[in-house]
């Protein structure tokens, strides 16, 4: 079966509410054509909507890696990865690991500034989101050695725009 038929099957399964079968159909489509970023992207959307964040993150990242110039795929991966970080941070909060949760939430807020959970949970753990996010940006700039691209990408964190 070609990838197109697997994708059609995936959407039919979604329509029927058979999400695990839909994810399996996307996985088969990906196996049929592993160089097609659109398959990873579509599968990632379905996985994310069904709280399969690890799979969603993996597939979103693959789409972004295969098509590095595609802004949609890159932004989708950032958003999915931020959601996954928030989920991990929630577990860290339950386990009493406030510092880890704060770091993860700050990273999520940088990756996806529109993720409301990251901001809300940062407030819950008692951290000032802007200060934590700014310190995360500074740490990532130092570790990457690519100050220009990080500063441009994360400029909102330090209060400057444009």
Q: For residue 158, what is the DSSP state?
A: G
**Contacting residues for 110 by C-beta, under 8 A, at least 6 apart:** 133, 136, 137, 140, 154, 157
Token pair of 28 as six digits: 């088969």
Position 123 scores a pLDDT of 85
Backbone angles phi, psi at 17, to 5 degrees: 80, 15
Q: What is the per-residue pLDDT across 56-109, written as a single tens digit (0 to 9) for each?
A: 999 999 999 999 999 999 999 999 999 999 999 999 999 999 999 999 999 999
**What mean pLDDT, rounded, does the chain reach?**
83
State the pLDDT confidence band at 161, using cuts at 50, 70 and 90.
very low
Show contacts of 87-94: CB within 8 Å, 24+ apart: 87/53, 89/118, 89/121, 90/121, 93/121, 93/124, 93/125
The answer to whether 80 and 57 are in contact (CB under 8 A) is: yes
Q: Which of 13, 6, 81 is nearest to 36 (CA)?
A: 6
Maximal C-alpha separation, the chain? 53
Position 140 scores a pLDDT of 52
Using CA atoms, how far apart are residues 61 and 41, in angstroms rounded to an integer? 9
Q: Which of 79, 84, 80, 126 is nearest to 102 (CA)?
A: 126
DSSP letter for each residue of 60-93: HHHHHHHSTT-HHHHHHHHHHHHHHHHHHHHHHH
């Amino acid at each position: 079966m070609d990838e197109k038929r697997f994708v059609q099957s995936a959407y039919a399964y979604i329509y029927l509410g058979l999400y695990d079968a839909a994810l399996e159909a996307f996985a088969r489509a990906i196996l049929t054509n592993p160089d097609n970023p659109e398959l990873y992207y579509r599968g990632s959307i379905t996985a994310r909507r069904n709280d399969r964040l690890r799979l969603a993150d993996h597939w979103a990242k693959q789409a972004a890696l295969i098509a590095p110039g595609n802004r949609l795929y890159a932004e989708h991966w950032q958003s999915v990865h931020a959601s996954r970080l928030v989920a991990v941070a929630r577990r860290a909060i339950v386990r009493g690991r406030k510092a880890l949760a704060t770091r993860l939430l700050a990273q999520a807020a940088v990756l996806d500034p529109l993720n409301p959970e990251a901001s809300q949970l940062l407030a819950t753990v008692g951290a000032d989101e802007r200060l934590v996010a700014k310190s995360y940006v500074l740490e990532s700039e130092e570790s990457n050695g690519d100050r220009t691209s990080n500063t441009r990408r994360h400029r909102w964190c330090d209060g400057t725009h444009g």
